Amino acid sequence: MATGLRTGLAALVTALCLVLTSCAGSMASGPPDYTGTWQLAGQDGSEPAQFVVSADGTYTARGIPDALACRTRNADTSPPGCSEGRSSSDFSGQWTLADGSAPGIRFRFADRFVRQGYPTDAGLAFFTGSLDVPRPDFVFVRTPAR
């Protein structure tokens, strides 16, 4: 009887271990962390284009190319600088995690959608036209924390 009890207990412990380890592997990780400074890839110099994304849901954009910042081409619905014919714009606003089937980060200015960045191995990808093109128009890479 003691041998049967040990065998049953060993089987129960083995089954419990298998269940626990299989569940641990399938646990969903938390949302991606986009906080930090994102700089336009390939741009060096004293004032590269960048998004500074804060944990409180705000961001600051500096030197963002107008092709990226001025999506609507409408001065009333675009960030400052878009109506002035400058090649880049500085602005700030709120960001949220993208919802639905397309992951990423959404940037808003004055409660209006500006652009969505899509996570890739290279960084945050931005498309100014179709998402069906083989490469994004702009890629921003996270800069190391100082």
pLDDT digits (tens, 9 = 90+) for 46-91: 788 999 999 999 999 999 998 899 877 777 778 887 877 778 899 9
Give me the residue spans of the domains in the chain: 36-142
Contacts of 83-91 with CB under 8 Å at 24 or more apart are 88/49, 88/63, 88/64, 89/61, 89/63, 89/64, 90/60, 90/61, 90/62, 90/63, 90/64, 91/60, 91/61, 91/64
Q: Is the pTM of this model over 0.85?
A: no
C-alpha–C-alpha distance, residues 50 and 67, integer Å: 14
**Per-residue model confidence as pLDDT tens digits over 86-116:** 788 999 999 999 987 888 999 999 988 999 9
